[in-house]
Amino acid sequence: MLALLGLLRRGCWKPDIESEKSMKKTAAVSPLGRIPGQAYLWLAVIIFAAASSITRKLTEIGSQI
């Protein structure tokens, strides 16, 4: 890693700009890239709410036995 940084400082190595552009295009095409962050947040809230109610019901059933 340090050797790569040294080459970058000296200007001996230049990254391939075209490959970076193609990587950005590929990332934009993936279906997961189009899902907004707020959707992930709501999904997490729903999962934790369901887990809480399931745990409560299991606790009630366990206390009855």
Q: Three-class SS string for 11-43?
A: CCCCCCHHHHHHHHHHHHHCHHHHCCHHHHHHH
Give residue limits of the domains in the chain. Answer: 36-65
Structure tokens, 9: 């400082």
What local confidence, expressed as pLDDT, does residue 61 receive? 94
What local confidence, expressed as pLDDT, does residue 34 receive? 84
Over the chain (65 residues), the average pLDDT of each successive run of 10 is 58 59 58 83 95 94 90
What local confidence, expressed as pLDDT, does residue 6 receive? 62
Structure tokens, 59: 């606790």
